[in-house]
Structure 1
Amino acid sequence: MVPQYSGLPIALYALTATAFGIGTTEFVIMGLLLEVGRDLEVSISAAGLLITGYALGVVVGAPLLTALTAGLPRKQLLLGLTALFTFGNLCCAIAPDYWMLMSARIMTAFAHGAFFGVGAVVATSLVQKEKQATAIAVMFTGATLANILGVPLGTYIGQAFGWRATFWAVTGIAIVAFIATALLVPETKQESRQGVRAELGALKRKQVWLGLAMTILGYGGVFTAFTYIAPILTRVTGFAETSVGPLLILFGAGLILGNLVGGRLADRRLMPTVVGSLGFLAIVLAFLSIAQHQTILMAVAVFLLGAAAFGTVPPLQMRVLKSAEGAPSLASAANIAAFNVGNAGGAALGGFVIESFLGLHALGWVAALVTLSGLAVALWSWRLDRLTRPAAASCMART
């Protein structure tokens, strides 16, 4: 019998632990840019490129590393990726100069993208079919907890004991996660032994590409606005700078709630949840533009934005997995890359809007339009599903 906790295999929580470490190392650098810049004698803008480099590493590394390792058993691949992540953080902790730190960050980013892609496949293999989206949500809870606990704690450690101490701490978390994965995660029944050709074959399916487009556009709306949430809160709403931290904790609480609810709803009815979650996200982003002029409404909007943003993650990831059934690992990793493309594209679009005549006040409306374009793709994809089902049923009836 597989050990369980709260009705789910305990192996899922080993994946959650790794996700927590990955989420922490991705975002904690934002709070340590001054310390890194001072220590390595680079400008703040150069230190900021450590964030850009990491994001590009996820986009490139997720599909590339997954494709290159397509023939490996999934548990062994997870262990290898966790080991690479551990080594990358160790290299960050001891990096003697800026370029070594950049290289180490990119190394950990490669592990990040491939781990979430393969980890989602493994998570679904550990549970019954009706709990697969919930399993993905549980794994991604590690990333949401990283935003609430890992990043603030890591920032405190880095500011109190030096930025390298933060990466030593994440290295310790990664070692614990490696041991937990080795002891708790079983060999999955459907090992990915078909090789890179079968995995690439899944990317020829139209519905896989439509799923990736939903992710890029739907989630791109989140970062069109959220990237600039601090200036919105302080310059538009009128919050003090000291209030931004507590409001971001409120956002993080919304992330956890939305992630778990989105997973449960997707297990019941996947495409209605994809469409509903994207529609709700667009409404919340539009509401942001209305709420930003009143402090209480804005606090509510920040919480709702967290819930709506991560409410889309399990259904979007599950949609791509379903569309790539039979060879899901590469498509799953590509969807992780798609989230990061949406993040980067949304941030760039938000910056353009701020510099234009529209200004900071318009970010919510523009972000809502981006997500609505993702909703349009989702509706198109759903319609194709409905058109192909009768044709498939007719073929089966004739045979």
Structure 2
Amino acid sequence: MKVDKKIAYVGCLGMIGIITTEFGIIGILPQIANYYGVTIDKAACLLSAFALVIALTGPFMTLLFSGFDRKKIMLATIFIFLLSAVVSTLSPPFWLLMIVRMLPAFLQPVYIATAIAAAVASGKKSQENQLMGIVLGGIALAMVTTVPVATYLASVFTWQVSFFAQAIVSMLALVMIFKIMPSGNVPEKKSYGSQIKILSDKPFVLSTAMNFFMIASWFSTYSYFADYLVRTRKIDMETISYMLLLFGIMGVFSNWLSGKMLTKSITKTVTFFLSGTVIIPLILVYSGDGIWVTVILVAIWGFFYAPCFLNASAYMISAAPKSLEFANSLATSFGNLGVFLGTAVGGWVISQSSISNIPWAGMGFGILSLLMVVWRSILERNERRLVIINSVN
């Protein structure tokens, strides 16, 4: 294995630990709601509050730590995730569980931006999307391994065991980062002004909006994955864990496919997978509730959903190639702001009507994200025309 791939895979392992902690709770929300005697939308605050912290602090934390040793940043982040999981296994009061869930969120975007930057810096320019795909592939791998396993263990034992599984994953990631990630990898600290100026670039702003609406679309329904299937498809919690496994398996394949497609056309790849934000809600609402229909539905759902974070990062970076880390942190922050909004809107729909209606909220956000892609394409096409006209004149 080449050195550049080693760094990328180490970053991927850390991502698995992070995603297991952030999204592993989705499969056990009904159990947590029952244990603490709260509604499902209040229990979902354990996910949305985590995402909101990332959204509000991500860019600032990334700028603050942009000149630090990358290995130390990654170790510190995973250690905090480990501590959070350990405390959560003790079944603390709901307010304390909320706090220990929020603490690691402050450094999550720093880790992602750092891991991607370290992987990309160790390879060639032509390998950029591939290396980034390896790191972000940890999201899909977590969906196919640790997230469904944690959900399965919770269905067999108790929801606290799910957090114990999360702690084990974080511990493994901590050890491997310590052993393999090279020390002294300190990037040149860029001025804040040179990075922040990308916020005035219209294509980048539109890319950020696309990311925000896309993630809101997916998470308005995915945040309630377990509860949705239990109530609308009458599936038990053990079967839910198998559904999450299938969801993740399809995600691993589609994440790999997306990485390949991005090297040919970023815009076409993003548009293709964005179409799922319209297709999946229609299937959810109008398909039958038979077990095999549900299996096919979950497989298609996982296929379209999984590459969303990779596609968002690639799309945003393509509009800001000279501000890689800051662009990645903004992708993470606005993506998590989308998680917060999608989860909140989904919870509001559930409280006001029925959980069966949440796919419509996802479709609305999905259409908005597609419009952002169209808008950016038109803007860039017009800019190219102006360049040609000026060169001729």
TM-score range for the pair, normalised by the shorter chain length: 0.7 to 0.9
SS at match of 2:145: helix
1:107-126 equivalences under 5 Å are: 107-126=103-122
- Native 8 Å contact 1:277 1:312 kept in 2: yes
- Native 8 Å contact 1:221 1:346 kept in 2: yes
Out of 36, 47, 51, the position equivalent to 2:47 is: 51
One-letter identity of the residue aligned with 1:325 = P
SS at match of 1:193: coil
Out of 4, 11, 33, the position equivalent to 2:2 is: 4
How far 1:70 moved relative to its partner?
2.6
Out of 367, 371, 375, the position equivalent to 1:372 is: 367
Out of 369, 383, 387, the position equivalent to 1:388 is: 383
SS at match of 1:323: coil
Q: Which residue of 2 aligns with 1:61?
A: 57
Q: Which residue of 1 aligns with 2:202?
A: 206
Cα-to-partner distance string for 1:353-378 (whole Å, 9 max, x where unaligned): 44556x44444344223212101111
How far 1:98 moved relative to its partner?
5.2
SS at match of 2:306: helix
Q: Which residue of 2 aligns with 1:71?
A: 67
Cα-to-partner distance string for 1:64-119 (whole Å, 9 max, x where unaligned): 21122133354443344334434544555679765554333222111222212332
- For residues 327 and 279 of structure 1, the distance between their equivalents in structure 2, rounded to whole angstroms, comes to 28
Identify if the C-alpha distance between structure 1 residues 384 and 151 changes in structure 2 by more than 3 Å, giving closer, same or farther. Answer: same
How far 1:309 moved relative to its partner?
0.9
- For residues 241 and 189 of structure 1, the distance between their equivalents in structure 2, rounded to whole angstroms, comes to 44
- For residues 50 and 241 of structure 1, the distance between their equivalents in structure 2, rounded to whole angstroms, comes to 19
Q: Which moved more, 1:215-224 or 1:169-178?
A: 169-178
1:209-358 equivalences under 5 Å are: 209-239=205-235, 242-354=238-350
Q: Which moved more, 1:215-224 or 1:189-198?
A: 189-198
One-letter identity of the residue aligned with 1:388 = E
Identity across matched positions, percent? 21
One-letter identity of the residue aligned with 2:2 = Q
Out of 117, 123, 127, the position equivalent to 2:123 is: 127
How far 1:186 moved relative to its partner?
5.0
- For residues 30 and 221 of structure 1, the distance between their equivalents in structure 2, rounded to whole angstroms, comes to 16
- For residues 28 and 12 of structure 2, the distance between their equivalents in structure 1, rounded to whole angstroms, comes to 24
- For residues 20 and 271 of structure 2, the distance between their equivalents in structure 1, rounded to whole angstroms, comes to 30
- For residues 104 and 240 of structure 1, the distance between their equivalents in structure 2, rounded to whole angstroms, comes to 29
Structure 1 residue runs without a partner (length 5+): none
How far 1:56 moved relative to its partner?
2.1
- For residues 184 and 364 of structure 1, the distance between their equivalents in structure 2, rounded to whole angstroms, comes to 43
- Native 8 Å contact 1:122 1:188 kept in 2: no
Question: Does residue 1:14 correspond to 2:6, yes or no?
Answer: no
- For residues 52 and 81 of structure 2, the distance between their equivalents in structure 1, rounded to whole angstroms, comes to 16
- For residues 169 and 121 of structure 1, the distance between their equivalents in structure 2, rounded to whole angstroms, comes to 28
Structure 2 residue runs without a partner (length 5+): none
Identify if the C-alpha distance between structure 1 residues 192 and 215 changes in structure 2 by more than 3 Å, giving closer, same or farther. Answer: farther
- Native 8 Å contact 1:281 1:305 kept in 2: no
One-letter identity of the residue aligned with 2:308 = T
TM-score using structure 2 length:
0.84
Identify if the C-alpha distance between structure 1 residues 231 and 167 changes in structure 2 by more than 3 Å, giving closer, same or farther. Answer: closer
1:87-102 equivalences under 5 Å are: 87-89=83-85, 92=88, 99-102=95-98
- Native 8 Å contact 2:69 2:185 kept in 1: no
How far 1:317 moved relative to its partner?
0.8
One-letter identity of the residue aligned with 1:118 = T
Q: Which moved more, 1:146-155 or 1:61-70?
A: 146-155
Identify if the C-alpha distance between structure 1 residues 199 and 233 changes in structure 2 by more than 3 Å, giving closer, same or farther. Answer: same
Q: Which residue of 2 aligns with 1:149?
A: 145
- Native 8 Å contact 1:238 1:295 kept in 2: no
- For residues 95 and 365 of structure 1, the distance between their equivalents in structure 2, rounded to whole angstroms, comes to 35
Cα-to-partner distance string for 1:192-240 (whole Å, 9 max, x where unaligned): 5113332222222222221111111122221223334445434444545
Identify if the C-alpha distance between structure 1 residues 189 and 323 changes in structure 2 by more than 3 Å, giving closer, same or farther. Answer: farther
Q: Which moved more, 1:93-102 or 1:367-376?
A: 93-102
Identify if the C-alpha distance between structure 1 residues 204 and 24 changes in structure 2 by more than 3 Å, giving closer, same or farther. Answer: same
- Native 8 Å contact 2:5 2:131 kept in 1: no
- For residues 175 and 238 of structure 2, the distance between their equivalents in structure 1, rounded to whole angstroms, comes to 39
Larger relative contact order (C-alpha < 8 A, sep ≥ 6)?
2
Identify if the C-alpha distance between structure 1 residues 117 and 36 changes in structure 2 by more than 3 Å, giving closer, same or farther. Answer: same
- For residues 165 and 180 of structure 2, the distance between their equivalents in structure 1, rounded to whole angstroms, comes to 22
Q: Which residue of 2 aligns with 1:85?
A: 81
Q: Which residue of 1 aligns with 2:176?
A: 180
